[in-house]
A and B are shown apart, each in its own frame.
Chain A
């Protein structure tokens, strides 16, 4: 759905995006992660033909961008750096103007499509108040409705849950999962690890303009071959598992072992009581922190 080769964007001497080779496959829920200022938004803008690349190639939906971007964009719904609307008009009116502005938005179906999109994002019952009276969360929902208006095959969303409360974040996550199940590919850029971890099937991590990691989330989160055990009898447990014990912290033990069920049976057989036992997995946070440096909004003292 999205393929880039050696994509580079320079602003003067600053390199915002540096030789990025991205691959988003059809049906992915792709999480694009990176610290603030790492080039996420610039890359999203290049995918949409808003910013022109200095070097490299982009292909979206099988067509080159920006050369044939006009054929690509009708099948793409996007939310770029926060929602935007004419503040003195109502949400519905905003969507109608946006829909009428381009081709392929039938006038006859417009009203129904707007109602559907608003319903999807939880604004179905919104009144005629102007957008300037909307809360941040409502604006975010309206922006999403605009992206969904023409039932795109690909959704490119930059920080879609910005400004939403936990309930709203959950709603949007469910909506995106549901759309994805219906065949929509979702490309989501975010710096919220938890959001990506809960929603995405694949992640790309960008740091200082470079793509440092691109992998299926399941692979990243594969078991590490260690098991965490909680027990009120740590000394007894340590005696049973002499060679396999890696670390001990009070009544919590880290044990090198492949199978939690077998380990549990072994411990119980030896009369060791077990309060908790589970295979250790790397969290996305560990993975990301391992491959990225500090964000560009941090200016620590040199040295």
Chain B
């Protein structure tokens, strides 16, 4: 069933289009940076942007910082919102269930396929931006890559010990995994909405509404008490993988929080879907 779900995703032009868009944004920014030939001052612009001008190998990290706040969640919301509601809208849901495919199995396969999609999308973004970064900015002249040990505001100076490229690769891997987990918490929320609504668009917009609410509350001091529990609160903590040494505290909190969201909302999606009358 997982294979079938993956094939369905791979056969959808929309899925590839979303990946293309994800790659395009960092590419556009990169081209502007390269042609302007001066770096944004540290502390302004996206994370890592001031550093990449000196070292193209860091560009994947900058690319992730660019797509994470909005582009990636939109892609995830569209795909997760489509999971059950999309099948219901085309009428294929009833034929899948009559095939028969167990409801729990279907939901699980959708979630796994979504995780693979998110991982693949991020890996493709990382690879294209790595190639692009090296082409546009070179590798900074020194064989070792310096890890930015910046301030919590996302300032990325090149201070700190230099990292070998294998260490950078490892950290990149950690960051990618962390982002995938962050996205899955959000995906579980949207997928729950997808089992409630029969409209894929409605479910996706509902997911985005959650995202926006969370982002707004994040900037509100009065909401300080709930901040640590907002789904987006630790999203940017993947940056901590590029500090030296890696700052695990927020990463651990983030993983725990996302695991909570996944369990609660995937559980709710399951409870709703398994007992629901399928009338679509």
Contacts and interface: CB of A to CB of B under 8 A. Distances in A.
Interface string B172-209: 00000000000000000000000000000000000000
Interface size class of chain B, counting residues whose CB lies under 8 Å from the partner chain: 20 to 34
A84 B277 CA distance: 18
B108 to A, nearest CB: 13
Contacts of A74: 100
Contacts, number: 74
A76 interface: yes
Contacts of B102: 70
B277 A93 contact: no
A268 interface: no
Interface string A35-61: 000000000010011111000000000
Interface in A74-92: 74, 76, 78, 80-89
A97 B8 contact: yes
B99 A50 contact: no
Given A82-B91, A86-B8, A88-B13, A52 B100 contact: no
A163 B3 CA distance: 33
A84 B4 contact: no
Contacts of A126: none
A48 B101 contact: no
Contact of A45 (B7, B13, B91, B279): B279
Most buried by A among B92, B94, B95: B95
B11 A49 contact: no
A282 B115 CA distance: 62
A234 B96 CA distance: 64
A87 B90 contact: yes
B116 interface: no
Given A88-B11, A88-B12, A101-B4, A48 B92 contact: no
Task: List the 4 closest pairs (A to B, CB-CB), nearest first.
Answer: A84-B91, A73-B100, A102-B99, A50-B278
22 contacts: A45-B94, A45-B279, A50-B94, A50-B98, A73-B100, A74-B100, A78-B98, A80-B95, A80-B98, A84-B91, A84-B95, A85-B90, A87-B90, A88-B12, A88-B13, A97-B7, A98-B96, A98-B99, A101-B4, A102-B99, A102-B100, A102-B101
Interface of A: 45, 48-52, 69-70, 73-74, 76, 78, 80-89, 93, 97-98, 100-102, 146
